[in-house]
Amino acid sequence: MPEFDEHGFYSSYSTEAARAVKYRNHNAGLFQQLRGAAVVNGQVSDLTPKVRAYVEENIDLCHPDRVHICDGSERENGYLIQLMQQQGTIMPLPKYQNCWLARTNPADTARVESKTFICTEERSETIPTPKEGIKGTLGNWMSPKKMDEAIKERFTGCMRGRTMYVVPFSMGPIVSPLSKIGIELTDSPYVVASMRIMTRMGEAVLNKLQETDEFVKCLHSVGVPANGFIEMASWPCDPERTIILHKPKNNEIVSYGSGYGGNSLLGKKCFALRIGSTIAKREGWLAEHMLILGITNPKGEKRYIAAAFPSACGKTNLAMMTPSLPGYKVECVGDDIAWMRFDKNGVLRAINPENGFFGVAPGTSTKSNPIAMSTIFKNTLFTNVASTSDGGVFWEGMEDEIQPGVTVTDWRGQRWTKDSKSPAAHPNSRFCTPASQCPIIDPQWEAPEGVPISAILFGGRRPTGVPLVYEARDWKHGVLIGAAMRSEATAAAEHKGKIIMHDPFAMRPFFGYNFGHYLQHWLSMSNKSSNLPKIFHVNWFRKSSEGKFLWPGFGENARVLDWILKRLDNEDCAEETPIGLVPKRGGINLEGLSEKVDMQQLFGLSKNFWLEEVFAIEKYFKEQVGQDLPEDLVRELSGLKKRVEAM
Ligand code: OXD
Ligand code: MN
C-alpha cells in the first residue's frame, strides 16, 4: 500500500463519507477553503487567476464538499487507486505489475453519439443542413441557451458529498508549441487516474499555465441518478440524462452522466478532436482521428505516415505493426489522434497529443499485436475485460494465452465458459496504458516540432468492392476519398449490426464544426505547401465470394506500406484506374507470403460496384452536406463518376 499525506490523512479512512467527517472535524487551519469546499490537496495559490475563477464558478454550481488539485504524483495516484478499491470501482490484477480492472455499469460502456452536441449560435456553424425530411448524421447541434439550461438542470449540486478533482493536463508534450492545455474538473477518481495515463497531467502543467494562462475548460460529472442514490455506488453514472456538450466559442466542454472513457476523458475525443478541430480551423492546422507511425525500409530510409480509420478498425494494430517483410521496421508515434501543421518549409508536421493508448482489448493477442501485448501488462487500467482465476485478464482473442485450469469471470462478474452465449469481455472493453511502455515507441514521439508526414492513409472495413490499396490522383482527389469513406459499424459507439456506414475522414462522430466547412479547410491546405503528402486508401478487410478475408493483414500489411514508400519515391510501380492508382502487376512484394493470395479478386474493380458506390456518395453528399459541399468536391465526384461510367 502506498504512503499518503504527511498528516496520515488518506491512510486512515475507509470511505469518502468517513473522510468527509474527518475533514469537517479536522483542525480548520490546516486546510484552505475555496467557496466553502475544503481544499484537500494542492495549493490554491498555484492556480492562475483564470483557472481559479473557473474552479470557483463550478464549485458554486456543483457544490462539492472537497476540492483536490491534482499534482500527478505517484503518491496521489496511489491514494486514488486505494480509494477506488475501497469504493469497489477497481480490483487488483495480481498476475501483473500495478494493473487494475474496472467494471462499469452495463449501461455505460461506449460513446453516446446521440447525446453529444456542439453548441453554436447558428446551427449551420455546427452541421450542414440536411435535405428536407432526412435526418442529419453529421453531428448534433444545440443552442447556447439550451446548453445553459441542460447544464443547470444536471450540474446544480451534483457533487454534493463528493470531491471535485482539478486536473491540469497538456495535450501534447508540455514544451511543444503544437500542444494545448486543458483543465478538467471531475468527480471521478477513475477519470483522474486515466487522465494521468492518457495525458501529461499535474504540477508541470500548472507551472506552464503561469506562462500562457490559456486552457480548454472541461467540466465532468458522473452525475447523480434521478433517485439521488449515489453513496458507494461502485460505478456511479446517470445514463438516462447523459449529455456531452461542446462550446467552441469558449473552448469549453461539459460532460455529464457517464464515466466511460470516450465520454469522460475529456482530453481525447472532446478536446483533441471536437474542440481541437475548431481551434485547428481558426489557426490553420488539422486535428484528425489518425494514427502516426514511422517506417524504416531496409536501406535505412525512414518516413512517417498518418492514417485515419474509423473506431475499432485496427489503428492500434497498424501503429504497432511487426512487419513481416525482412529489413522493415515500424515505430509508433500514436494510435488514435494526430495534430498536424505545415511548418515554414511546407512540411506537414504531426504530434500525437496523447500520452497513452486507450485501446480496444478484444482481438488484441500475441498473434494480432504482440507489441501491444508487451505494452499493457504493467501500470494499466483495464475496463470491462474479463478476469481470470490466476489474477489476470481475458478477452476474445486470448484463448491461446490462458493457462489450463484457469477459470474466467466475464465483464459483468459472472462465471464464463466457452459455451457461454455472451462474450467474456465487452466488445468495447479497453486497456488504458502509458505510451512510453510501448517497446517500439518512436524515438521522436515527443519531439516538440512533431514528425514530418509523407503520406496520409484513409481506410475502413469494406468487405466488398474496394481494393487493398489505391492512391489518390492528387490532393483534391484525396480529399474526396476521405470525404467518401465508409466502413462497417463497430462497437465503440452505440450502433448495432454490421451495416456499412459513411464515416468521412473517420471523423463523423468527432467533427467540431460543419463538415462542409471542414472539407473546405482540408482543400485549403494545398495552398500551404508545394510538397503535399500523398494520399492513399487502404482496405485490409475485403472478402472472397465465400466470405473469407482475401488478405492476411496484420504484419503482412507491411507489403502495402512498402508499395506506398515506393510511390513516395515516385517509383514507377502504379497504374491508373478510374478510382485512382493501383499497384502494377508485381508492384506489391509477395515474396515469402505463407498463404496464396488471390490478387485478381483483391484488386478487382467492378463497374457495377463502383457505380453504386458513386451513387451512394452522391446521395450522401446531396442529403447530408447539400449547399455546404465545396464546388471542388462536386467536380471531383463528377470526374470519378465519368471515369467509372467509361469503365
Ligand atoms: C476511440 C474511439 O476510443 O474512436 O478511440 O471510439
Ligand atoms: Mn478513436
- Look up residue 357 and give its three cell numbers: 493508448
For range 447-465, the mean pLDDT: 97
Give the separation between CA 176 and CA 160, rounded to whole angstroms. 38
Is a pLDDT exceeding 90 seen at residue 277? yes
| Substitution site in 198, 315, 336 for ligand 1 pocket (most atoms within 8 Å of beta carbon) | 336
Give the separation between CA 336 and CA 338, rounded to whole angstroms. 7
Listed residue (315, 273, 264, 314) closest to 104, CA to CA: 264
The residue nearest atom 1 of ligand 1, judged by CA position, is: 311
Largest interatomic CA distance in the chain: 84
**Over the stretch 382-393, which tens digit does the pLDDT of each residue have?**
999 999 999 999
Pairing mode, strands 286-288 and 338-342: antiparallel
For range 557-575, the mean pLDDT: 98
Centre of ligand 1 to C-alpha 510, Å, is 10
Is a pLDDT exceeding 50 seen at residue 305? yes
Are the C-beta atoms of 333 and 294 separated by less than 8 Å? yes
Is a pLDDT exceeding 80 seen at residue 546? yes
Give the ligand at the shortest distance from the Cα of 111.
1
Give the separation between CA 413 and CA 105, rounded to whole angstroms. 11
* pLDDT band per the 50, 70, 90 thresholds, residue 31: confident
Reduced 3-state DSSP string for 77-105: HHHHHHHHHHHCCEEECCCCECCEEECCC
* pLDDT band per the 50, 70, 90 thresholds, residue 8: very low
Residue 456: phi and psi, rounded to 5, are -120, 130
Centre of ligand 1 to C-alpha 251, Å, is 21
Decide whether any atom of ligand 1 lies within 6 Å of the 111 Cβ: yes
Residue 220: phi and psi, rounded to 5, are -140, 135
For range 451-464, the mean pLDDT: 97
> In ligand 1, which atom is closest to the CA atom of 336?
5
**Over the stretch 580-606, which tens digit does the pLDDT of each residue have?**
999 999 999 999 998 899 999 999 999
**Over the stretch 209-227, which tens digit does the pLDDT of each residue have?**
999 889 999 999 999 866 6
**Over the stretch 416-432, which tens digit does the pLDDT of each residue have?**
999 999 999 999 999 99
Is a pLDDT exceeding 90 seen at residue 528? yes
Query: What average pLDDT does the structure give for the chain?
Result: 93
For range 43-63, the mean pLDDT: 97
For range 229-252, the mean pLDDT: 88
Listed residue (263, 289, 264, 295) closest to 276, CA to CA: 289
Residue 519: phi and psi, rounded to 5, are -65, -40
How many Cα atoms occupy the beta-carbon half-sphere of 584 within 13 Å? Answer: 8
For range 60-69, the mean pLDDT: 97
Are the C-beta atoms of 385 and 425 separated by less than 8 Å? yes
Is a pLDDT exceeding 50 seen at residue 9? no
**Over the stretch 164-188, which tens digit does the pLDDT of each residue have?**
999 999 999 999 999 999 999 999 9
The residue nearest atom 2 of ligand 1, judged by CA position, is: 311
Pairing mode, strands 66-69 and 163-171: parallel
Pairing mode, strands 180-186 and 141-142: unpaired
* pLDDT band per the 50, 70, 90 thresholds, residue 27: very low
**Over the stretch 125-139, which tens digit does the pLDDT of each residue have?**
999 999 999 999 999
Give the separation between CA 366 and CA 167, rounded to whole angstroms. 35
**Secondary structure (DSSP) of 580-628:** EEEEPTT-S--TT-SS---HHHHH---HHHHHHHHHHHHHHIIIIIGGG
Give the separation between CA 609 and CA 466, rounded to whole angstroms. 9
Is a pLDDT exceeding 60 seen at residue 28? no
For range 157-162, the mean pLDDT: 94
The CA–CA distances, whole Å, from 417 to 80, 393, 408, 414, 425 equal 33, 14, 7, 10, 12
Percent with pLDDT over 90 in the chain:
90
Is a pLDDT exceeding 90 seen at residue 110? yes
Q: Which residues does the annotation mark as catalytic? A: 313
The pLDDT, as a whole number, for residue 226 is 61
Integer-rounded Cα radius of gyration of the chain:
25
Listed residue (417, 104, 431, 345) closest to 235, CA to CA: 104
The pLDDT, as a whole number, for residue 495 is 56
Decide whether any atom of ligand 1 lies within 6 Å of the 311 Cβ: yes
* pLDDT band per the 50, 70, 90 thresholds, residue 497: low
Is a pLDDT exceeding 60 seen at residue 2? no
Is a pLDDT exceeding 80 seen at residue 623? yes
Q: List own/partner pairs for 318-322 with CB under 8 A and 24 or more apart.
A: 318/291, 318/293, 318/557, 319/291, 319/292, 319/293, 320/369, 320/371, 320/372, 320/375, 320/438, 320/440, 321/293, 321/371, 321/554, 321/555, 321/557, 321/558, 322/370, 322/371, 322/554, 322/555
> In ligand 1, which atom is closest to the CA atom of 315?
5
Centre of ligand 2 to C-alpha 390, Å, is 31
> In ligand 1, which atom is closest to the CA atom of 310?
4
Give the separation between CA 353 and CA 115, rounded to whole angstroms. 25
- Could you report how far apart the first and last alpha carbons of the chain are, in Å? 69
- Look up residue 86 and give its three cell numbers: 475501497
Residues 6 or more apart whose CB falls under 8 angstroms from that of 537 comprise 457, 458, 459, 466, 469, 470, 472, 481, 580
pTM > 0.85: yes or no: yes
The CA–CA distances, whole Å, from 342 to 267, 345, 451, 482 equal 23, 8, 11, 19
Centre of ligand 1 to C-alpha 362, Å, is 14
**Over the stretch 498-507, which tens digit does the pLDDT of each residue have?**
789 999 999 9
Residues 6 or more apart whose CB falls under 8 angstroms from that of 129 comprise 123, 136, 626, 627, 628
For range 83-108, the mean pLDDT: 96
The residue nearest atom 3 of ligand 1, judged by CA position, is: 262
The CA–CA distances, whole Å, from 278 to 128, 216, 251, 340 equal 15, 12, 9, 13
Is a pLDDT exceeding 70 seen at residue 106? yes
* pLDDT band per the 50, 70, 90 thresholds, residue 230: low
Percent with pLDDT over 70 in the chain:
93
